[in-house]
């Protein structure tokens, strides 16, 4: 984060603008909207500034900038908008020496703060900044938001403000208040406001608040069983994102990528319940009961899983417990690891020239053996995807060969697919275990066996290095 985002209260606060041209005029208009008391120093003034001076809305000093000007008052912030680079640098240096926030227009290296592109739905405001790197991009994003955020959102914010203190007085619990406002914003009350029926909306809020106040018993929460996909947050569904932002607490496993986890509501409680082949943070039965208990406490519980909850994710076991305990839940499918991995590795799971079917299996070892249907796995013209098979890779490949598959059968291991850390290792059933052993491979890996692996070199399209550079540029 190059600049810390912040909103300043400038109502009746003294602000200084150096410059009197068109650019300075635009900045002064923004300061006026914020209610600032504005001084302007410039030998000449734009026509609009002359009118503002004549009506007493700004105070102007018609002269060049002087070294003592920054101490005329205790200024809250300063903007330099001249076409003289030397003056702009002098203003920047002096302001920063005095610890006064300063912005030099179009010279981010001289700024201690950036003026963002603003979407104004007062009291709702959205500020967009690229840290001075790409102001045209910021303006373009603002234009997109202008088209999807109606002006009536300001009325919605004002409605909430009118009921804020009353809601705090009648609903003492923070979670109750958040649930109340989420109901307001996601239902018919918000629609009333957006359609201009403000009086009806206010009456509906009063009615809902009365209902919530008169409800003595603690309401039941809900569990959201959400597939977090293979790692890239761009692959999440809209519904997954919406529920991730509503959760009071999130239970997540080790296959959930940090980038996906970062999209959960910031003040939600995080509980790690991940499993490794040699270590379970919590037994599955305890996870099931924990989900039910947290929901019975009235919480919105997000069970966030890598991939899809119903593909080797034990989602079925968890909702069995929830149904037995009478806990409401939702299931949000995710892009399963096999589909995401294959797509980003350039290995189609089916192809009319190579494979007409696909099998998903789990590679867990039990007593150092693998009890799989080897006859089914070694059929021709199919693709086999092995989940959680890294530790058993050598045994798996040996058993496939033992049960009739050629040691020259193409095979691949893909690590951390869809992320900047993706690694693809291509070999055969005979060679893949040795190739993997020579690499530092993470447990977040899938194995793909089949003739479709031959297509990797031709069809590979995803470049992890490009993604890493893109991620670094937005951090």
Is 326 annotated among the ligand-binding residues?
A: no
Is 23 annotated among the ligand-binding residues?
A: yes
What separation in angstroms does the CA of 268 have from each of 229, 236, 388? Answer: 20, 19, 29
- The total of other beta-carbon atoms located within 10 Å of residue 174's CB is 11
Is 321 annotated among the ligand-binding residues?
A: no
Is 281 annotated among the ligand-binding residues?
A: no
Is 308 annotated among the ligand-binding residues?
A: yes
Is 135 annotated among the ligand-binding residues?
A: no
> Is-contact 7 74, C-beta < 8 A?
no
DSSP for 328-343, written as a single string:
-EEEE----HHHHHHH
Is 388 annotated among the ligand-binding residues?
A: yes
Give the tokens for residue 457.
């070199």
> Is-contact 343 459, C-beta < 8 A?
no
Long-range contacts, 393-399 (Cβ 8 Å, 24+): 393/363, 393/432, 393/433, 393/436, 393/447, 394/433, 395/365, 395/368, 395/369, 395/370, 396/363, 396/370, 396/447, 397/429, 397/430, 397/432, 397/433, 399/370, 399/372, 399/374
d(CA 359, CA 420): 27
Is 309 annotated among the ligand-binding residues?
A: no
d(CA 84, CA 104): 11
Catalytic residue among 69, 179, 232, 253: 253
Give the tokens for residue 409.
């059968």
Q: Are strands 249-252 and 124-128 parallel, antiparallel or unpaired?
A: unpaired
Is 275 annotated in the active site? yes
At residue 408, the 3 state secondary structure works out as: coil
Is 25 annotated among the ligand-binding residues?
A: no
Catalytic residue among 120, 155, 246, 275: 275
- Please name the helix (run of DSSP H) or strand (run of DSSP E) that holds residue 466, with its range, or none: helix 464-474
Is 306 annotated among the ligand-binding residues?
A: yes
How many degrees, rounded to 5, is the angle at CA 348 between CA 413 and CA 370? 45
DSSP state of 72: S
> Is-contact 303 226, C-beta < 8 A?
yes
Alpha helices in 297-336 (DSSP H): 315-325
Is 428 annotated among the ligand-binding residues?
A: no
**CA 449 to chain CA centroid, nearest Å:** 34
Residues classed as catalytic = 253, 275
Q: Which segments are annotated as binding site?
A: 22-23, 43-44, 230, 306-308, 311, 336-337, 388, 417
Q: Which segments are annotated as binding site for NAD(+)?
A: 22-23, 43-44
Q: Which segments are annotated as binding site for S-adenosyl-L-methionine?
A: 230, 306-308, 311, 336-337, 388, 417
């Amino acid at each position: 984060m190059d600049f810390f985002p912040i909103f300043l209260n400038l109502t009746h606060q003294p602000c200084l603008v150096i410059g009197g041209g068109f650019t300075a005029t635009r900045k002064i208009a923004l300061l006026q909207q914020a209610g600032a008391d504005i001084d302007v120093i410039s030998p000449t003034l734009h026509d609009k500034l002359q009118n503002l001076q004549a009506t007493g809305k700004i105070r102007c000093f018609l002269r060049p900038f002087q070294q003592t000007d920054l101490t005329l008052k205790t200024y809250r912030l300063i903007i330099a908008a001249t076409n003289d680079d030397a003056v702009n640098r002098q203003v920047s240096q002096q302001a920063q020496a005095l610890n006064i926030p300063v912005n030099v227009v179009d010279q981010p290296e001289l700024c201690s703060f950036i003026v963002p592109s603003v979407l104004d739905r007062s009291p709702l405001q959205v500020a967009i900044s690229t840290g001075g790197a790409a102001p045209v991009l910021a303006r373009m994003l603002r234009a997109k938001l202008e088209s999807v955020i109606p002006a009536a959102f300001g009325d919605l914010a004002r409605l909430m403000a009118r009921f804020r203190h009353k809601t705090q007085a009648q609903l003492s619990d923070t979670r109750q208040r958040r649930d109340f406002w989420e109901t307001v914003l996601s239902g018919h009350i918000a629609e009333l406001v957006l359609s201009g029926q403000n009086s009806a909306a206010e009456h509906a809020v009063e009615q809902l608040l009365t209902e919530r106040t008169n409800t003595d018993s603690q309401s039941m929460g809900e569990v959201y069983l959400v597939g977090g996909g293979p790692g890239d947050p761009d692959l999440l569904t809209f519904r997954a994102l919406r529920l991730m932002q509503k959760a009071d607490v999130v239970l997540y496993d080790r296959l959930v990528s940090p980038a996906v986890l970062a999209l959960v509501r910031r003040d939600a409680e995080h509980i790690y319940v991940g499993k490794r082949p040699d270590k379970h943070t919590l037994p599955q039965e305890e996870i099931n009961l924990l989900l039910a208990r947290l929901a019975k406490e009235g919480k919105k519980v997000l069970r966030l899983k890598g991939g899809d909850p119903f593909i080797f994710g034990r989602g079925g076991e968890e909702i069995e417990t929830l149904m037995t305990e009478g806990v409401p839940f939702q299931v949000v499918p995710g892009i399963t690891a096999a589909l995401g991995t294959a797509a980003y590795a350039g290995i189609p799971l089916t192809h009319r020239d190579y494979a007409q079917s696909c099998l998903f299996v789990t590679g867990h070892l039990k007593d150092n053996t693998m009890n799989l249907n080897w006859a089914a796995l070694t059929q021709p013209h199919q693709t086999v995807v092995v989940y959680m098979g890294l530790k058993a890779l050598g045994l798996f490949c040996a058993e496939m060969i033992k049960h009739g598959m050629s040691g020259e059968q193409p095979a691949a291991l893909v690590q951390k697919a869809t992320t900047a850390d993706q690694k693809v290792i291509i070999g055969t059933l005979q060679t893949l275990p040795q190739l993997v052993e020579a690499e530092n491979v993470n447990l977040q890996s899938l194995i793909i066996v089949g003739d479709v692996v031959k297509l990797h070199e031709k069809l590979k399209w995803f470049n992890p290095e490009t993604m890493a550079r893109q991620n670094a540029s937005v951090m």
